[in-house]
Structure 1
Amino acid sequence: MGKTQYTLDSTVRLIIKILVVILIFFSIRYLYGVLLPFVIGWLIAYFIHPLVCFIQYRIRVKSRIVSIILALLLVCGVLFGLGMLIIPIIYEEMSKIIPLVDKYLQDINAYPFINEVLIKNLQIHFEALDYKKLISLDTLNVIIGKVVPQFWGLMSNLWQVVLAIGTMFFTVLYVIFILKDYEKLSDNMIKLFPKHYRNFAQELQTDLSGAMNRYFRGQALICLIIAILYSIGFTIIGLPMAIVMGILMGILSFVPYLHSLGFIPVIFFAFINSAETGNSLGLMLLGILIVFVIIQLSTDAFLVPRIMGKNMGLSPAIILLSLSTFGVMFGFLGLIIALPFTTIAIAYYKRLVIEKETITKD
């Protein structure tokens, strides 16, 4: 077959499509703060929608609004119940940590020479101060120049709190309104496409929904297992707040490679444990390393292949590229949706471009 001929009309159409994509991208970046509650609300509605359908059609609650309210109350009740189970554990662990920190601070006071050196340095510093210069007009201007930005920074932080509360409020409203007309919204989104693209859009929507279902359910199960394994492992090696750290590692594991950040508090508690008990810090760090290696190998060799199967099929380099790209574009939300969207994009690229080129050449 001959090569594709690019006419003036096709070239102009291609340029317009590229410009539209660029315009959409920068519009999303500009309106990120406004779109964020909507996107979060849509994701929450996406996860709660099966529960709403179950209540409405299986339990046969006639009112859609009542079904939505019952579903939200059930989800909030489950989260509250989990909190009531976890918070006492955290409280018990913290009650063990606080005496360790106090003991560590008291140990510093056990060395008088530290206090003597500190007091001597403070005396030298205050003796060198020029008090007349300190209370001069120029000094006051400097102080005011430093205090005023701090005041405006405080006001800015308060405004950020107000914005966060507003974002949460609008997110809840979006969840309710989207759930109320979920099926209608999904159908109407397909109708936004031209007729000759609607079959493709419907297929894309079905594939994307299936990929997200498989990914989120599988990843949630993996995170739960990882949290349990780390809690058991940290308890065995005697790490303080073992269960809390295990839960933290499980939550961070929802985004690939993010669980590495969890080792910062883990190592901190290892230092505290070593200071309290007198045990070898090296042995504790070695125990943490062994726990990490065993769980990481178990995850890569058994959990991910069996639970996720080959749904992702992405190399580590592509995963990192996808996470960094979506993270820059959409923030933390981008880290969550990066892998399912990347998987779908690669699958459709292979289907529409590579396979089409192969058929054309044949």
Structure 2
Amino acid sequence: MVDRQPYTFDRVIRILFGVVSVVGLFYLVYILRGALLPFLVAWIVAYMLNPLVVYNKRVFKLKGRVVAITLAFLEVLITISLLCVLFLPSIIDEIAHMRELLSEYVYNSSSIPFVPQAVHDFIRDNINFSELSGLLSREQWLSIIEESFSGAWGFITGSVGEIINIVSWLVVLLYIVFILLDYDRILCGFQRMIPQKYRPMLVSIGNDIEESMNRYFRGQALVAGLVGILFSIGFLIVGLPLAIVLGLFIGVLNMVPYLQLIGIIPTILLCLVSASDTGTNFWLLFGACILVFIIVQIIEDVFIVPRVMGKVTGLNPAIILLSLSIWGTLLGFVGMIIALPLTTLCLSYYQRYVIGADSVEPPDSPTDTSVSEEVQE
């Protein structure tokens, strides 16, 4: 039995002092949350850009990080511009076409074969298609642009609130640049702040978490992007309205396991509206969309995931759903994205440190597999 130290006056004072210090630290963070938020946002962005900076420095054989950081910003800007040039015109055309379909569906009383009229009545009564149509109109987008220009004019005329907002964004940008310049030094500085007694264990755990998150998140982001492109192509082939928008939306949902199934709901509504306007058989169009779901899922499971993510997590589907619920409740949508690597990591540490099962093989996880060379670069 472990001998417990007696609660002397000196020990009680130290415990109280420690509790007061922790509470005071949290209160200080709460007071300074407005000043700390730009730094936290900048740190997240810098964390995501740092691999690109390291890649530029290695490929172009640069000595300093200034040129590599500049190249990283230019590459991100060029990538976003190319995506806008390639997809934005098609998205605008699809939105305009969808607005016409919605307008026709609101006033179209014809029924679709094998679809009860009560279904149409329920949809028309519970969904405000006029408001949706207004959101998709060019006038609505023009009003948003006018509001943006009015905000810029408010900044020009000396609005204090607008000036503070602009300065905040500039501070975030400066934070990003300065963090990227001394990224490794800052990490070493954070490690030195940990007491020497706990530093090896905490640094080891932090490195494991970072490695797990890097491999899983980057690999899953690539998988989600490829899946979104495949869905967009498939929906374009079958002639579904808003094909690119819906495909990319399902790709984003694919960041969370099983969440892409939510995309079936807007798919049904789009099939219903398209069939009502064009006279296409609803069930044929819906069946073609379901076929797209099945084909993309097969391509994802057979070709994309094994080559990008390596082995599957090895977790039971019930455990996966439970981990998604727990981490989603704690951390929101971000928690659902990082639920699987955190769960596999917690199980591994539980087996290693709690029950001491060194001989028990932990479940296969992204921490045990390596992402392909293209993903790491």
Shorter-chain TM-score above 0.5: yes
Q: Map residues 10-159 of structure 1 onto 2, 5 A cutoff.
A: 37-56=38-57, 58-107=59-108
Aligned-partner Cα distance in 2 for 1:330–1:29: 18
Q: Which amino acid aligns with 2:217?
A: F
How far did 1:314 drift?
A: 3.2
Taking the TM superposition and a 5 Å limit, the aligned residue runs for 1:280-319 are 280-300=281-301, 303-310=304-311, 312-319=313-320
- CA-based RMSD of the aligned residues comes to 4.2
How many residues in Structure 1 have an aligned counterpart in Structure 2?
Answer: 307
Q: Does residue 184 of structure 2 align to residue 198 of structure 1?
A: no
CA contact (8 A) 2:232 2:248 kept: yes
* 1:66, distance to aligned residue in structure 2 (A): 4.2
Match of 1:220 in 2: 221
Comparing 335-344 with 239-248, greater Cα deviation is found at 335-344
Matches for 1:148-187 after TM superposition, within 5 Å: 170-187=171-188
Can you give the 5+ residue segments of structure 1 that lack an aligned partner in the other structure? 110-159
The residue aligned with 2:364 is none
Structure 2 distance, partners of 1:161, 1:262, is 38
Cα 1:39/1:21, change in 2 over 3 Å = same
The DSSP-based 3-state class of the residue aligned with 2:100 is: helix
What residue is the counterpart of 1:257 in the other structure? 258
Q: Call closer, same or farther: CA 1:180–1:303 in 2, change over 3 Å.
A: same
Check whether the contact 1:29–1:329 (CA below 8 A) recurs between aligned residues: no
1:233 matched to 2:243: no
Query: Hey, what does 2:353 align to over in structure 1?
Result: 352
Q: Distance in 1 between matches of 2:222 and 2:173?
A: 26
Change (3 A) 1:7 1:316: farther
| Partner SS state of residue 194, structure 2 | coil
Report the CA distance shift for 1:354/1:38 in structure 2 as closer, same or farther (over 3 A): farther
Would you say the 8 A contact 1:323–1:338 is kept in 2?
A: yes
Deviation per CA, 1:303-339, whole angstroms, max 9, x where unpaired? 4345323474433333333333333333333333333
Letter in 2 for 1:345: C
Whole-angstrom CA distance in 2 between matches of 1:6 and 1:98: 73
Cα contact 2:229–2:248 (8 A) shared by 1: yes
User: 2:101–2:277: 8 Å Cα contact kept in structure 1?
Assistant: yes
The residue that corresponds to 1:276 in the other structure is 277
CA distance in 2, matches of 1:45, 1:318: 33
Choose between structure 1 and 2: higher helix proportion.
1
Distance 1:256 1:37, change over 3 A: farther
Q: In structure 2, what is the Cα distance between the partners aligned to 1:30 and 1:322? A: 33
Q: Secondary structure at the residue paired with 2:101? A: helix
Q: Secondary structure at the match of 1:195?
A: coil
Q: Which moved more, 1:187-196 or 1:278-287?
A: 278-287
Q: For the structure 1 residues 300 and 64, does the alpha-carbon distance in structure 2 shift closer, same or farther, using more than 3 Å as the test?
A: closer
Task: Supply the distance in 2 between the matched residues of 1:260 and 1:29 (Cα, whole angstroms).
Answer: 39
Distance (whole Å) between structure 1 residues aligned to residue 281 and residue 62 of structure 2: 61
User: Aligned in 2, Cα 1:101/1:317: closer, same or farther, shift over 3 Å?
Assistant: same
Q: Deviations over 1:63-93 (max 9, x none)?
A: 5344323312221221121121110221232
Whether the 8 Å CA contact 1:215–1:311 is kept in 2: the answer is: no
Mapped contact 2:232–2:246 kept (Cα < 8 A): yes
Per-residue Cα deviation, 1:143-168 (whole angstroms, up to 9, x for no partner): xxxxxxxxxxxxxxxxx999987775
Offset of residue 242 of structure 1 = 1.9
Cα 1:177–1:96 change in 2 (3 A) is same
Structure-2-length-normalised TM-score: 0.65
Distance 1:20 1:230, change over 3 A: farther
Q: What is aligned with 2:120?
A: none
Deviations along 1:112-149, one digit per CA (max 9) or x if unpaired, are xxxxxxxxxxxxxxxxxxxxxxxxxxxxxxxxxxxxxx
SS at match of 1:279: coil
1:212-252 C-alpha deviation (Å, 9 max, x unpaired): 22102221221123123322332343212223321221122
Q: What is the CA–CA distance in structure 1 between the aligned matches of 2:26 and 2:307, rounded to whole Å?
A: 37
- How far apart are the structure 1 equivalents of 2:279 and 2:2? 75
| Native 8 Å contact 2:209 2:345 kept in 1 | yes
Q: What code does the residue aligned with 1:350 have? A: Q
When the two structures are superposed, what TM-score results if normalisation uses the length of structure 1? Answer: 0.68
Shift of 1:32: 7.3
Aligned amino acid, residue 102 of structure 1: S
8 Å contact from structure 2 (residues 52, 72) kept in 1: yes
Q: Which runs of 5+ in 2 are unaligned?
A: 111-160, 361-377
Any conservation in 2 of the 1:230–1:291 contact (CA below 8 Å)? yes
Partner SS state of residue 257, structure 2: coil
Indicate if the aligned counterparts of 2:108 and 2:276 stay in contact, CA closer than 8 A: no
1:14 offset after TM fit, Å? 11
